[in-house]
Amino acid sequence: MENRPKVGIGVLIKKDGKVLLGKRKGSHAPGTWAPPGGHLEFGESWEECARREVKEETGVTVSDVGFVTATNEVYPVRGTHYVTLFMICDLALGEPANLEPDKCEGWQWFSWDELPQPLFFPLENLLKTGFRP
């Protein structure tokens, strides 16, 4: 079987000049900070995936979902390769709740100039592009 890259989505939710990040748990990059996100499912638009992943992980509703950029992450030790599509949106309704406590320690709002460390590799790659929300 041929190895192929997978497509991930990272969703930057904005509220009052801050973005929402959670501290990861589990086998892939535990202890790093990342936005809500996950895998793009077959037949799903990028916007649909962003809305779904945010709802599943945090319970909030978002609006004005748009594309930011894509990053390319190869993890030789794990034998995986991801293309991460970064989406940006506004918080529309609700307060973030930790709906997947086995995958995340909890959600917090951070200023882009004061992001916590260490960051999840795709988010580090996004910062290298010079992007600012």
Structure tokens at 35: 């936005």
Please give the Cα distance from 11 to 47 (Å, whole number): 10
For residue range 63-84, list pLDDT tens digits in order.
Answer: 999 999 999 999 888 889 999 9
Mean pLDDT for the stretch of residues 76-100: 95
pLDDT on residue 6: 96
Is 53 a residue whose pLDDT tops 70?
A: yes
Is 5 a residue whose pLDDT tops 80?
A: yes
Q: Collect all residues with Cβ–Cβ distance below 8 Å to 38 and sequence separation of at least 6.
A: 8, 9, 49, 53, 56, 57
Please give the Cα distance from 90 to 65 (Å, whole number): 7
Specify the fold of 6-95+103-128.
Answer: Nucleoside Triphosphate Pyrophosphohydrolase (3.90.79)
CB neighbourhood size of 85 (10 A): 21
Beta pairing partners, 13: 89
Is 2 a residue whose pLDDT tops 70?
A: no
